[in-house]
Structures are given as structure tokens and as C-alpha cells.
Amino acid sequence: MGMTVATFAMAATCYVVTTALFFLHLFRGGESQARWASLSMAAAAVAQAGFVASLLWVEHHPLFASIDETLALGSLLVAVAYLATMRRHRLTVLGAFIAPVCFLMLLGAGVDARVARVSHEVRNALLPLHIGVNILGIAAFALAFAVAVAYMIQEQRLRQRKLSGIFQRLPALDVLDSMGLRLVTIGFPLFTIGMLTGSVWAVRAGNGSVTFSPGQGFAVLSWLFFAVVLLARAAAGWRGRRAAMGTVLGFLCAMAALVGYAVRGVGAS
């Protein structure tokens, strides 16, 4: 228990520091804040990996047995995906929007004692697949969310002709729009597989009867938002602000789905 609490507290502290440093970089500039923020994000990921390892091997939590492991793994994957992709594409400043998401997901993972676990009798191969692809999909959506928020801020400042400060530190609109499309395109099929496998697993676990929960409702709503974004981009030429708003709404619904599962006490994502 002591190791779990220590790694959780360390990761949470690193995410708070990371968020503060990224916002300093976003509003005031300075490469030193960006470097320290990236190092803090890496430290948070390491601490969170320790937290996940402690849950699994010290406290003997079965993998994918409840929402806390799902949130912890999801938050870790978002942080790792950010470190792997955003620096490569020189989008480090978007950490200002990613770090708070990681922090909130980590906090959700800390409510372990209040969350019911999936019993061994109803676990099968579909459940890990369902949760695994959902985690990957949500990680892609989280990065797309950060890109979309940056797009809307950048476009608003361009409309107001405020071409200094934050405007100079955020990427160009076409770069953000292209990156957002790529990330949603990656996340959507994963999320779709997650919904399909989740539906099959729920039917099997319920012996043919399924109760519709708020979490499932938000998951369907999230899927619809992302489906509309992709379809409208392809068929109606959606670009820019409308696509960004759809991405933000889709991600918020995905987060609401996780909250709904946690409140309901069902160990699925």
C-alpha cells in the first residue's frame, strides 16, 4: 500500500508541476519551461508506471478488473503517446492541454476502494480486448482533443488579429487540422472495435440481458460525434473549427463515459 500511495502522489505532483510549466511556456514563452515541462511529464510517466506496477503486482489487482486500472493505464498511455509523438512533430506546447487530462484520469484511478470489480466468472478474452482497444482509442482521442483545443484558440486569435504571444507559440492552423484528422482516424476504428466487443461481452456476462447505463450512453454519443467528424470531413469537406468542435465534444463524451462507469461501479471502460 505504501508504494502505491507514494507512486500515485509522485505522479500526481509531477502532472501538476508539468501543467504549470506548460502554461508558463504557453503564455510567456521560453524554451526552459518547455524543457522542464517535458522532463516533468517523463517523470510523471515513470512514476505512473510504478503506480500501475504496484496495483498489479504489489496489491495483486487483476489486469482490467476495474475502472481504476483502466484509468491508470489510459493516463499512462496518453502521457507516453504525447512524449513519443508531440516532440517528434514539434508540438511540445500542446502539453498544456494533455497534462491536465492525464492528471484527471490519474485522480480517477485513485478511487479504487469505491469501485466494484468484475468477478472472475464473467471475465473472458473479450474483456481485455474491449478495454485494451478502448484505451488505445481514447489515447488517440486525447491527443486529438489537445490539437482541437489548440486549433480553436489559434483560430480565435487569428480572427481577432492578435498575432503575438500565444499565437506565435502554437502551431499553424493547417498543421493542427491535419494532425487532428490523423489522430481521429487512428482512434475511431479502435473505439469502434471496443464498442462492438463491449456489447458482445455485456450480452454474455448478462446471460442475454443487458441494462443500458449512462456510461454506455455517453460512449455511443462519443462514437457518433467522431463518426460525424470523419464522415463530414470526407463527404462535406469539413475542416477547421467545426471538425475541432466535434472532436472536443466527442472526447468529452468519452470522458463522461468513463465517469459513468466509475459512478456505476462497473469495471469496464
Q: Is the confidence at residue 52, as pLDDT, over 90?
A: no
Task: Look up residue 15 and give its three cell numbers.
Answer: 502532472
Domain annotation covers residue 269? no
Mean of pLDDT values over 77-98:
86
Output DSSP code: residue 56: I
Mean of pLDDT values over 204-215:
62
Task: Look up residue 234 and give its three cell numbers.
Answer: 470526407
Which of the four pLDDT bands, split at 50, 70 and 90, describes residue 266? very low
Distance, in Å, from the CA atom of 84 to the CA atom of 218, rounded to the nearest integer, reads 29
Domain annotation covers residue 226? yes
Distance, in Å, from the CA atom of 71 to the CA atom of 56, rounded to the nearest integer, reads 13
Task: Look up residue 16 and give its three cell numbers.
Answer: 501538476
- Three-class SS of residue 146? helix
Distance, in Å, from the CA atom of 198 to the CA atom of 204, rounded to the nearest integer, reads 10
Distance, in Å, from the CA atom of 114 to the CA atom of 112, rounded to the nearest integer, reads 5
Distance, in Å, from the CA atom of 183 to the CA atom of 97, rounded to the nearest integer, reads 15
Contact 66, 117 (CB under 8 A): yes
Q: Which residue has the higher pLDDT, 87 or 105?
A: 105
Q: In Å, what is the CA distance from 69 to each residue of 42, 207, 233, 248, 269?
A: 20, 25, 35, 25, 10
Output DSSP code: residue 143: H
Q: Is the confidence at residue 121, as pLDDT, over 60?
A: no
* pTM metric for this prediction: 0.85
Output DSSP code: residue 213: P
Mean of pLDDT values over 253-265:
78
Tell me phi and psi for residue 238, to 5 degrees: -60, 135
User: Count of domains in the chain?
Assistant: 1
pLDDT tens figures, 164-192: 778 888 888 999 999 999 999 999 999 99
Which of the four pLDDT bands, split at 50, 70 and 90, describes residue 111? low
Domain annotation covers residue 106? yes
Domain annotation covers residue 35? yes
Task: Look up residue 158 and give its three cell numbers.
Answer: 487569428
| Identity at 82, one-letter amino acid code | Y
Please give the pLDDT value at position 132.
85
Beta-carbon neighbour count of residue 262 at 10 Å?
A: 22
pLDDT tens figures, 5-41: 888 999 999 999 999 999 988 888 777 888 899 999 9
Q: Is the confidence at residue 163, as pLDDT, over 80?
A: no
Please give the pLDDT value at position 246.
93
- State whether the Cα torsion 143-127-204-209 is positive or negative: negative
**Residue closest to 171 by CA, chosen among 158, 160, 161:** 158
Residue range(s) defining the domain that contains residue 167: 2-264
Domain annotation covers residue 77? yes
* Dihedral angle over CA of 41, 47, 53, 54, nearest 10: -150
Which of the four pLDDT bands, split at 50, 70 and 90, describes residue 64? low
Domain annotation covers residue 228? yes
**Residue closest to 255 by CA, chosen among 69, 41, 104:** 104
